[in-house]
C-alpha cells in the first residue's frame, strides 16, 4: 500500500519540523522520502501531522489490576485500547512485570487491542542480596540482569525498592543501603547501555542518584514537600530524565475505601491504591512548568487517579493557564507547554527511552505511526484540550486506524516489543529460581500466549 499525506503542517521536534507544510509518503509500513505514484491520498489541509504518541508508563496489566476492574475502578482492556487510539497513541508501556508474573502480565497486555505494548522487568533486589554485596559477583549480576530482561520479554529494568532490608535480625548481614545499591545499579546501567528506571520516592530524590544512569518514574506522587520538589528540579536541570506522574488537585477517587496491596516479596507490599499527598499534584505542575522540559516525559500517576480518558484535561493544565486557574483555584506558574514541548514529551522522549528507534519521529525509515489533529483557522495548535488530543486520523504501521474521529480498524495488528540482550543463564539465575514451587523455565513467557513478539536490538 502506498499513501501520501498531502498538505498537512508537520510537527516533529525530533526532526526539527515545527509546522512546515509538506507531504509525507508511506510505502507499506514505512515513511519514505518520495513516491512517484500512490494508491491513496489523505488530505491533511488544516491538520497538524505528528508522530503517534507513546505512553511511557501505563500500569494497565500489572498484578491486581483485574481486581480493580471488578470494582469498576478501571476500564476494560477493550475500552483502554480504544481510548488510547482515539487520542493518537499506538504504543503503551507497562511498568510492573515481575519474574513470577511475566506470563500473567503478557496475557493482560495481549488482551488490550489496537496499541502495541511493552513492559519493564521489575527487579526484586532481595532475590540478589548476597550477590549485590560482593564486588567480585558484579559480572554475574550484570549477566543475570541481561538474561532476565530477554527471557521475561521486557525492554528494560525497573526498581521499586532500591535497597535490601529484612525485618528479621537473622538476615541483617544481607541488608544493603540505598546508596550501596545505587552504586551497583550504575554499573548495571553501563553494562546494559540503558538507563535503569527507579520508581520515585522522596528519600530517593534527596539522595541524588546519578542523573545520566537513571530515569525517575511517576515523579509527581513523590513530591511531598517543597524541599523534595526543589531537589527534583535540580536533578532535571542536571540531566536526569523523568516522567511527570500528573495528579488531580483533589483525592479522587477515594481509594482508601478500596485498599489493594500485592505481596511481591519485597520489604513491604506493593500498594496499588495509595492516596497521593494532597499537594503533590500542585508541586509536579510547578516542576513541569517552570523547570527543564527536554528530559521530562508526559505521564499520569496511575490509571486509578488519572484515567486515560482524563489525559486531555491533564494536557490542558500544562498548556492553558486559564484552565489551571479554573481547576486548581490558585496561581500557578504562567509558563505553558508549546505544541512542540508536548510532542517531545509524548513522542520523542518516550521512544528514545524505550529504544524504539523507528518511532517518535517522521523521518524516512520511521514506522508509519502518524497522528493528525485539527488546527484552528490561524494554524496555531492551541487550544489543546479541544483539538490537540482528539485525533482526527491515526495511522499505525501505514494502516488507517482512526478516521474522522472514528475507530475504523479495531482489529489492526499489534505486537509486544522486547529487548534481545543475548544474555546467558548463570548460577545467580539458578539461585533466584531454586526456591520456586515450579521449574525456572515455567517463569519465562511461553509461546502459547499467542502474542506477536517483536525484538528490539
**Quick one: pLDDT at residue 290?**
86
DSSP 253: S
Cα end-to-end distance, the chain, whole Å: 27
Measured from the Cβ of residue 28, the count of other Cβ atoms closer than 10 Å reads 12
**pLDDT mean values, one per 10 residues, the chain (457 residues):** 94 95 96 94 95 96 88 91 97 94 91 97 90 88 91 94 89 90 91 90 93 94 94 94 90 61 86 85 91 90 89 88 84 83 95 96 98 76 62 97 97 95 89 65 62 86
301: nearest Cα among 54, 55, 116, 52: 55
Centroid of chain to Cα 87: 16
Transcribe 86-152 into DSSP letters. Answer: HTTEEEEEEEEE-TTTHHHHHHHHHTS-SSEEEEEEE--GGGGHHHHH-GGGHHHHHHHHHHHHHHT
Contact status, residue 11 vs residue 371, Cβ threshold 8 Å: no
Residue identified by cell 552504586 is 183
Burial-class residue 139 by CB neighbours within 10 Å (0-12, 13-18, 19+): exposed
Closest residue by Cα to residue 288 from 278, 296, 279:
296
Q: Which of 179, 185, 181 is nearest to 213 (CA)?
A: 185
pLDDT of residue 64: 86
pLDDT at 378: 57
Which has the closest alpha carbon to 144: 171, 162, 174, 121? 121
Using CB atoms within 10 Å of the CB of residue 323, give its burial: 0 to 12 exposed, 13 to 18 middle, 19+ buried: middle
pTM (whole model) above 0.85: yes
Rounded to whole angstroms, what are the CA distances from 346 to 4, 193, 296, 382?
Answer: 24, 23, 9, 16
| The pLDDT of residue 11 | 95
Domains of the chain, each with CATH number or no CATH: 2-51+358-407 (2.30.40.10), 54-349+419-456 (3.20.20)
Q: Which residues are within 8 A (CB) of 246 and not within 5 positions of it... i.e. 6 or more apart?
A: 220, 281, 284, 285, 288, 298, 299, 300, 301, 306, 314, 317
Amino acid at each position: 500500500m502506498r499513501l501520501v499525506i498531502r498538505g498537512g503542517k508537520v510537527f516533529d521536534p525530533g526532526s526539527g519540523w515545527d509546522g512546515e507544510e509538506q507531504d509525507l509518503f508511506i510505502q507499506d509500513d514505512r515513511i519514505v522520502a518520495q513516491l512517484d505514484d500512490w494508491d491513496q491520498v489523505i488530505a491533511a489541509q488544516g491538520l497538524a501531522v505528528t508522530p503517534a504518541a507513546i505512553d511511557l508508563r501505563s500500569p494497565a496489566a500489572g498484578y491486581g489490576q483485574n481486581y480493580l476492574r471488578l470494582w469498576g475502578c478501571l476500564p476494560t482492556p477493550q475500552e483502554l485500547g480504544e481510548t488510547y487510539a482515539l487520542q493518537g497513541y499506538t504504543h503503551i508501556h507497562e511498568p510492573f512485570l515481575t519474574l513470577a508474573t511475566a506470563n500473567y502480565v503478557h496475557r493482560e497486555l495481549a488482551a488490550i487491542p489496537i496499541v502495541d505494548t511493552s513492559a519493564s522487568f521489575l527487579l526484586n533486589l532481595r532475590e540478589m542480596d548476597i550477590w549485590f554485596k560482593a564486588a567480585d559477583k558484579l559480572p554475574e549480576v550484570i549477566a543475570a540482569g541481561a538474561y532476565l530482561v530477554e527471557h521475561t520479554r521486557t525492554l528494560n529494568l525497573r526498581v521499586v525498592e532500591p535497597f535490601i532490608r529484612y525485618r528479621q535480625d537473622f538476615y541483617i548481614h544481607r541488608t544493603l543501603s540505598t546508596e550501596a545499591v545505587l552504586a551497583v545499579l550504575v554499573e548495571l546501567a553501563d553494562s546494559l547501555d540503558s538507563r535503569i528506571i527507579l520508581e520515585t520516592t522522596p528519600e530517593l530524590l534527596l539522595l541524588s542518584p546519578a542523573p545520566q544512569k537513571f530515569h525517575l518514574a511517576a515523579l509527581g506522587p513523590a513530591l511531598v514537600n517543597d524541599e523534595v520538589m526543589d531537589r527534583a528540579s535540580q536533578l532535571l536541570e542536571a540531566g536526569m530524565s523523568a516522567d511527570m506522574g500528573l495528579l488531580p488537585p483533589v483525592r479522587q477517587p477515594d481509594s482508601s475505601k478500596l485498599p489493594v496491596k500485592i505481596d511481591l516479596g519485597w520489604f513491604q507490599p506493593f500498594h496499588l491504591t495509595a492516596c497521593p499527598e494532597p499537594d503533590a499534584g500542585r508541586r509536579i505542575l510547578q516542576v513541569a512548568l517552570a523547570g527543564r522540559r527536554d528530559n521530562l516525559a508526559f505521564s499520569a500517576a496511575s490509571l486509578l487517579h488519572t484515567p486515560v480518558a482524563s489525559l486531555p484535561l491533564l494536557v490542558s493544565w500544562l498548556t492553558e493557564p486559564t484552565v489551571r486557574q479554573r481547576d486548581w483555584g490558585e496561581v500557578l506558574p504562567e509558563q505553558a507547554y508549546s505544541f512542540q514541548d508536548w510532542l517531545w514529551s509524548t513522542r520523542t522522549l518516550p521512544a528514545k527511552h524505550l529504544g524504539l528507534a523507528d518511532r517518535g519521529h517522521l523521518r524516512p525509515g520511521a514506522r508509519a505511526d502518524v497522528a493528525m489533529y485539527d488546527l484552528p483557522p490561524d494554524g496555531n495548535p492551541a487550544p489543546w484540550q479541544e483539538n490537540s488530543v482528539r485525533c482526527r486520523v491515526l495511522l499505525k504501521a501505514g494502516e488507517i486506524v482512526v478516521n474522522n474521529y472514528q475507530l475504523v480498524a479495531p482489529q489492526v495488528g499489534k505486537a509486544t516489543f522486547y529487548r534481545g540482550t543475548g544474555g546467558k543463564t548463570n548460577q545467580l539465575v539458578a539461585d533466584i529460581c531454586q526456591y520456586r514451587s515450579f521449574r525456572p523455565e515455567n517463569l519465562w513467557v511461553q509461546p502459547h500466549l499467542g502474542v506477536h513478539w517483536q525484538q528490539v536490538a
